[in-house]
């Protein structure tokens, strides 16, 4: 059972003007697809792992054979990170988080403005390529904001990503060029808080 690229839950131009259609098309159909294809290729060398879903595979990264471990970190991470990225965005997004996710943000960060500042700062200070994440930490029972290089998944260290912004240049360069800060500011307008909340609630329930 090979890993597969899912169709985007909306059209390429659905996040305009904040994220342009061409970026969405290349990002999902070329970049994400390459991670999926390369993950499947790497797993040909470890048929016993081929049946694992992507979350189980990344959580169990310690038991992946050394010969394909880095390929799984890069491409398995890339696959899961992008699948989550498409889900936590959507047309008609943005605004202030309310409900369970709004409460959890207040509890962990004080207020939404503080969370935004932290996510932005993490994204801007991630040297080179990587992600600015909001994760659920099962040990503390709270949300945390972290940054990770490349496609390193928070799942590999027991954290559960609930939202994240891709700060690789391929995520914003066509529209924003070198202006990573402007891209991150615009990104909040496409956050689908319903999905983020569902991910938080599931993480808290241990799912």
Binding site for Mn ion (CB under 5 A): 166, 168, 171
Whichever of 143 and 171 has its CB closer to Mn ion, that residue is 171
Q: Between 105 and 122, whose beta carbon lies closer to Mn ion?
A: 122
Cβ of residue 38: shortest distance to Mn ion, in angstroms? 14
When CB distances to Mn ion are compared, the closest residue is: 166
Considering the complex, state which of residue 24 and residue 49 has its C-beta at the smaller distance from Mn ion.
24
Question: What value does the CA radius of gyration of the chain take, rounded to a whole number of Å?
Answer: 16
Closest CA to 75 of 42, 29, 99, 46: 42
Q: Is the omega angle on the peptide bond into residue 17 within 30 degrees of 0, that is, cis?
A: yes
From the CB of 23, what's the least distance to Mn ion, in Å? 10
Smallest gap, in angstroms, from Cβ of residue 90 to Mn ion?
17
Question: Which C-beta is closer to Mn ion: that of 181 or that of 202?
Answer: 181
Shortest Cβ 141–Mn ion spacing (Å): 30
**3-state class (DSSP) for residue 150:** coil
End-to-end CA distance of the chain: 22
Pairing mode, if any, of strands 142-149 and 130-137?
Answer: antiparallel
The smaller minimum CB distance to Mn ion, of residues 168 and 187, is found at 168
State the nearest-atom distance from the C-beta of 100 to Mn ion, in Å. 28
Secondary-structure breakdown of the chain: helix, strand, coil percentages, each rounded to the nearest 5: 55, 10, 30
Interhelix angle 180-187/112-125, rounded to 10 degrees, is 150
Crossing angle for the helix pair 112-125 and 99-109, nearest 10 degrees?
A: 70
């Amino acid at each position: 059972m090979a890993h597969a690229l899912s169709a985007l839950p909306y059209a390429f131009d659905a996040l305009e003007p904040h994220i342009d259609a061409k970026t969405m098309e290349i990002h999902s159909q070329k970049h994400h697809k390459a991670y999926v294809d390369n993950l499947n290729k790497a797993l040909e060398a470890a048929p016993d792992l081929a049946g694992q879903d992507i979350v189980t595979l990344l959580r169990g990264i310690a038991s992946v054979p050394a010969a394909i471990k880095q390929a799984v970190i890069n491409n398995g991470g890339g696959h899961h990170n992008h699948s989550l990225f498409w889900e936590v965005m959507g047309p008609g997004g943005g605004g202030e988080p309310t409900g369970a996710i709004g409460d959890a943000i207040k509890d962990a960060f004080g207020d939404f403005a503080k969370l935004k500042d932290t996510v932005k700062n993490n994204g801007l200070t991630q040297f080179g390529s990587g992600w600015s994440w909001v994760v659920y930490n099962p040990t503390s029972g709270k949300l945390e904001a972290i940054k990770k290089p490349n496609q390193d998944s928070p799942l590999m260290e027991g954290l559960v990503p609930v939202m994240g912004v891709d700060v690789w240049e391929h995520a914003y360069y066509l529209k924003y060029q070198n202006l990573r800060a402007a891209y991150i500011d615009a990104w909040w307008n496409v956050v689908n808080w319903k999905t983020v909340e569902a991910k938080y609630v599931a993480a808290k329930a241990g799912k």
